[in-house]
Amino acid sequence: MVIETNSLSQLLLVLSEATILFLVLFLLFIVCIAGVVLLSIKHDKFYFPRLMRAGFKFMDGVVRSVCKFAGVEDNKLTVFFIRLHNSMSESDFANTDFKDRAIFLPHCLRSSQCPANLTPEGLFCKHCGKCELDHTIDELEGMGYKVFIVPGSTFINRMVKKYLPRAIIGVGCIREVKDGLEFADKIGVIVMGVINKTDGCVETLADLQELMSIAMLRSPHT
Query: What is the contact surface with ligand SF4 in residues (CB under 6 A)?
Result: 110-111, 114-116, 125-131, 133-134
Rounded Cα–Cα distance for residues 222 and 216 (Å): 12
Q: With contact defined as beta carbons under 8 Å apart, do 133 and 171 qualify?
A: no
* Closer residue to ligand SF4, CB minimum distance, 66 or 105: 105
Cβ of residue 130: shortest distance to ligand SF4, in angstroms? 4
* Closer residue to ligand SF4, CB minimum distance, 124 or 183: 124
* Closer residue to ligand SF4, CB minimum distance, 106 or 165: 106
Cβ of residue 152: shortest distance to ligand SF4, in angstroms? 16
The helix/strand/coil state of 52 is helix
Query: Rounded to the nearest 10 degrees, how much is the dihedral formed by the CA atoms of 83, 196, 178, 43?
Result: 30
* Closer residue to ligand SF4, CB minimum distance, 130 or 158: 130
Rounded Cα–Cα distance for residues 64 and 62 (Å): 5
* Closer residue to ligand SF4, CB minimum distance, 182 or 203: 203
The residues, any chain, with a CB within 8 Å of residue 102's CB and separated by 6 or more, are 145, 146, 147, 148, 159, 160, 163, 165, 167, 168, 169
Cβ of residue 105: shortest distance to ligand SF4, in angstroms? 9
Cβ of residue 140: shortest distance to ligand SF4, in angstroms? 13
Q: With contact defined as beta carbons under 8 Å apart, do 82 and 181 qualify?
A: yes
Cβ of residue 91: shortest distance to ligand SF4, in angstroms? 32
CA 220 from chain centre, in angstroms, equals 25
